[in-house]
Amino acid sequence: MRSQLYDRRFAIVTGKGGVGRTTVALALGLVAARYGLRTCIVQLGARDWAGKPFGRIEPSYLPVPLCTSAAGIPELPLYAANLTPSEALREYGQMKLRFRAIYNLVFENDVMRRLTRMIPGMNEMLMLGKAWHMEAMDKRNDGRPTWDLLIIDAPATGHGVSLLRLPQVISEAVPFGPMAEDARAMRTLLEDPMRTALHVVTLPQELPATEALELCQQVRSTLGMPTGYLFINKVLGRVISETQRRTLKQVRDKTDGLAHSALEAMELYEHWRAAEQLQIQRLVRQSALPVVELPHLLEPVGRGQLEQLADLAQAGMEAADLRVQGRGMPSVGAA
Ligand SMILES: Nc1ncnc2c1ncn2[C@@H]1O[C@H](COP(=O)(O)OP(=O)(O)OP(=O)(O)O)[C@@H](O)[C@H]1O
Ligand SMILES: [Mg+2]
């Protein structure tokens, strides 16, 4: 079964800093690319370049293929691009002004550079505008959209929400003119449940969980955006069964030395795991989003680990879709 994630072409992934937004975006990208969907991970001025786990060292503004054979031939239609405000401005300027000489005159000067840096939100608007352009305007030769799926690796929560609110703020502050038109088109995309879904990533710990629940609320009330899945990343796996745990407790006090310490460490692990499970239950109860759990992997996240996370994300999304259907909850994207 193909998860509902892939029916909306503009998938935004956000959450608190460091929770695994880029990792989750890449895992989802892999799932989509395996279905043959032409997918691009679009980073908005990110510092952790998505191409790195695939051996792509240099960040690129133009989409680059991530899964290529030794001969450089793409094996999966998965691409990544890291947008920067300066390159987005250059592209936007040349598109609007058509001639490079005029563009240079208008944009390539100190006053303009200072202005774009000084106007709050201008840089973010340029990057969001480029992402919107990739969804709405980029076409193949046969007229079909270039991208079947764009996965936006958005900035961390606070910054991310302000960025996603910009089209709303600008279209209300500047009702007329080309900038207002662009802002309105972006707002239409962001609020369209047929094209857009905002996915939240969090960790199974109290503070990140609280922040994620607040974010879910903000997405609905302040942003008015359609929501997708809630990914709980780095969940500790079960290492021993309940019976084994009880036995361990009984034998712990009868042992000493290294065996005693090992048993204590195991108990501590189980204690953490129990605390995590409480946070997971809280997120399931209070978020009203279909929840997908992803395990805490032991090895650093490279291509192999991403493939593993992709398998688990796919299974988790399918299970979450079934739970939603079973409970008669609104389907993903229609929240
Ligand atoms: N499920 C996982 N298991 C183990 N390590 C993980 C997992 N998910 C992410 N990581 C690691 O955790 C770190 C943070 O992940 P990632 O860079 O994806 O987070 P981020 O939210 O994009 O961070 P930033 O706010 O810096 O952009 C990385 O080193 C990544 O390899
Ligand atoms: Mg990141």
Q: Which two tokens stand for residue 101?
A: 């000489």
**Cα(236)–Cα(224) distance, rounded to whole angstroms?**
33
How buried is residue 188: exposed, middle or buried, by Cβ count under 10 Å (0-12/13-18/19+)? middle
Distance 1 CA to ligand 1 centre (A): 28
C-alpha of residue 177 to centroid of ligand 1, in Å: 41
Is the pLDDT at 331 greater than 70? The verdict is: no
Give dist(CA 274, CA 245) in Å, integer.
12
28, 78, 208, 309, 320 from 312: Cα distances, Å: 10, 18, 22, 5, 12
Q: Is 14 in the pocket of ligand 1 (CB under 6 A)?
A: no
> For residue 15, which atom of ligand 1 is closest to its CA?
21
More confident residue, 294 or 335: 294
Looking at residue 126, its pLDDT comes to: 86
Model confidence at 37: pLDDT above 80: yes
Closest ligand 1 atom to the C-alpha of 294? 1
Burial zone of 34 (CB within 10 Å; 0-12 exposed, 13-18 middle, 19+ buried): middle
pLDDT tops 80 at residue 4: no
CA 147 / ligand 1 centre spacing (Å): 25
Q: Which residue CA neighbors atom 15 of ligand 1 most closely?
A: 20
Q: Residue 112: what pLDDT?
A: 66
pLDDT of the residue at 219: 92
Q: What's this model's pTM, rounded to 2 decimal places? A: 0.89
> pLDDT higher for 321 or 2?
321
| Average confidence (pLDDT) over 30-52 | 95
Ligand closest in space to the Cα of 17: 1
Which of 29-38, 55-64, 231-240, 254-263 is predicted least confidently? 254-263
CB of 287 within 6 A of ligand 1: the answer is no
pLDDT reading at 306 higher than 90: yes
For residue 299, the ligand 1 atom closest to its alpha carbon is: 4
Q: Determine the average pLDDT of the residues in 274-303.
A: 94
pLDDT surpassing 80 at residue 117? no
How many other CB atoms are there within 10 angstroms of residue 334's CB atom? 12
Which residue puts its alpha carbon closest to atom 24 of ligand 1?
18
Is the pLDDT at 32 greater than 70? The verdict is yes
Q: What is the mean pLDDT of residues 150-158?
A: 91
Residue 172 CA to ligand 1 centre (angstroms): 36
> Does pLDDT of 335 surpass 50?
no
If you measure from the C-alpha of residue 164 to the centroid of ligand 2, how many angstroms do you get, rounded to a whole number?
17
Do residues 45 and 155 lie in contact, with contact meaning Cβ atoms separated by under 8 Å?
A: yes
> Helix, strand or coil for residue 18?
coil
CA distance 149 to 85: 22
* Confidence band for 333, pLDDT divided at 50, 70 and 90: very low
Q: Which residues contact 262 (CB under 8 A, 6 or more apart)?
A: none
- Testing ligand 1's pocket by substitution, the residue of 14, 21, 23 carrying the most ligand atoms inside 8 A of its CB is 23
Question: Is the minimum distance from the CB of 156 to ligand 1 under 6 angstroms?
Answer: yes
Highest mean pLDDT among 75-84, 95-104, 133-142: 75-84
Confirm or reject: Cβ of 43 under 6 Å from ligand 1: no
pLDDT of residue 106: 61
> Across the chain, what does the average pLDDT equal?
87
Statement: residue 332 has pLDDT above 80:
no
Protein residue with its CA nearest to atom 31 in ligand 1: 301
pLDDT digits (tens, 9 = 90+) for 176-223: 877 788 889 999 999 999 999 999 999 999 999 999 999 999 998 889
Of all protein residues, whose CA lies closest to atom 12 belonging to ligand 1? Answer: 20
| Test site for ligand 1: of 42, 236, 301, most ligand atoms within 8 A of the Cβ | 301
Q: What confidence score (pLDDT) does residue 1 get?
A: 57
Higher pLDDT, 314 or 172: 314
Domains of the chain: 4-238+288-327 (3.40.50.300)
Q: Is 125 in the pocket of ligand 1 (CB under 6 A)?
A: no
pLDDT tens, residue by residue, 309-329: 999 999 999 999 888 777 765
Q: Quick check: 334 pLDDT over 50?
A: no
